[in-house]
Amino acid sequence: MAYFDYASGCPVDRRVIDAMIPYMIDVIGNPSSVHSMGLKARSALDEARGKILRLIGTEDGEIIFTSGATEANNLAIIGFGMRNRGKGKHIISSSIEHMSVINSCKVLQKNGFDVTYIPVDRNGIVRVDELEESIREDTILITVQHANNEIGTIQPVEEIGEIAREKGIVFHVDATASLGKINVNADRMNADMITLSSNDIYGPRGVGGLFIRKGVRVQPIIVGGGQEKGYRSGTENVPGIVGFGVAAEITEKEYREEAKREEKLRDEIIRRMLEIEDTYLNGHPELRLPNNVNVRFSYIEGESLVLSLDMEGIYASTASACTSKTLQPSHVLMACGLKHEEAHGSLLFTLGKETTEKDVDRLMEVLPMVVEKLRKMSPLYKKKKGG
C-alpha cells in the first residue's frame, strides 16, 4: 500500500492513542460534574486547551472544542455574523474557501447578509488589493484560509490580518490544512478566530476547535446546557479532546523537521511527474504546503486515474474529500482559471508521516503506465496524435 491521501484522513499517532485510553476506561466522569472524577475530566480539557494555544502561539483567547473543522467554521462565520449583525452585514471571503466556509456564508446571505468573494490569481493567491478595496463601512468579518486544502497554496494571511486589524474588522482564518505543516501563529496573523482540526495533526477524528480571541463575541449555533463556556453545548468528548491536546503537543515539537522531510519528497514527486508529457502543476510552485502535490494530466479523467491507481494499491484523490462526492469540477481549480476538462483531469497527492521514498518510487513506477494506458483510450488524446 502507498497512501497519498493524508489531506482526507490521517492515522492517529500511537502516542495519542495511549494518552486517550485512560479517559475511555478509568476517568469516566462528566466534566460538568462537581465530584472528583468530574474534576479530573475538567482538568484534562483545560490542559488540552493550553497545549493547543501554545501550538498556535497565543494566550489571548480561548479554544472552544467542536466536532471538527466544519463545525468550527460554522460557529466562526454564522455564530459571529448573527451575534454582530447590528454592527453590519457585509462579509469578505475568497473564491477558493472550503465548502464549510462557503456554505456558512450562504446561510448568512439567506439572512440578509452581503458576501464578497475575492478572486485569486492562476496560482490560487488571494488578490489582496481587491480585498482591501472591497472593505465597506458595514464590513464586520474577513474569512480567508491559511492554505488551500486542494492546491496547497499558502495565502498572505499576515498581510490580510494587518489590514483587518487596521480597519477594526474581525479576521477569521481556517487553518485546517496548514496546522502541523507550517507555522500557525495567531498573534503574528492578527487572527481573531482560527479553525483547527485534530485528525489533520494525527489526533482522533470527530474533534476540532475554534480559537476565539478575547473580546470577540460569537453566538452559539448548538444550544443546550451551556458547555464550552456557552459557545457549544453538549457533553464534551473527553478522550478525543485529550488526544487532540497530545497531538498538538507532539506537533509543536516535531512538525518543523517533518515538514522538511515531506517537502523533499514532495519536490521529488513534482519533478518526476512533470516529466510525463502534457502534465502540469496546480497551485503555487513555491508558496505551497510541504505535503501537497496537485497535478493535472491532460486528456484523461481524474476519477479514472484514482480508480486505476487504487487497483495497484496506491491511494490518491481528485479533490478534497468534502467535495469529491459531486460530479462538478473543483471550484478551487475553476477559480484559478482552469477549464472544465483541465479541472477534471487533476489529481491530488498529499504526504504524511508514514510516506517513504519507497512509496514515492512505487507511485512513479505505476503512474506513468496508468496515464499512458488511459490516454490511449481517450478520444481527445487520439485526436491530438492524429489518430
CA dihedral 147, 108, 67, 10 (to 10 degrees): -30
- Closest alpha carbon to 163 in 135, 184, 202, 201: 135
What the block records as the C-alpha cell of 258 is 517533518
Q: d(Cα 75, Cα 62) in Å, to the nearest integer?
A: 14
Rounded CA separation 214/210 (Å): 13
Q: 193-197 and 279-281 as β-strands: parallel, antiparallel, unpaired?
A: unpaired
Cα separation of 162 and 314, whole Å? 43
At 154, is the secondary structure helix, strand, or coil? strand
Whether 322 is catalytic: yes
Question: CB under 8 Å to 163, separation ≥6 — which residues?
Answer: 128, 131, 132, 135, 142
Contact 143, 76 (CB under 8 A): yes
Cell numbers 517513504 correspond to: 356
Which residues neighbour 244 within 8 Å (Cβ) at sequence distance 6 or greater?
48, 52, 65, 198, 203, 204, 207, 208, 209
- Evaluate whether 245 touches 252 at the Cβ level (below 8 Å): no
CA 187: distance to chain centroid?
19
Residue type, 158: E
Q: Are 176 and 124 in contact (CB under 8 A)?
A: no
Active-site residue among 10, 105, 322, 336? 322
Question: In degrees rounded to 5, what are phi and psi of residue 315?
Answer: -115, 125
In whole angstroms, what separates CA 52 from the centre of its chain? 16
Alpha carbon distance 147, 134 (integer Å): 21
User: Measured on CA atoms in the order 294, 295, 296, 297, is the torsion positive or negative?
Assistant: negative
> Do 316 and 347 contact (CB within 8 A), yes or no?
yes
Which residues are known to be catalytic?
322
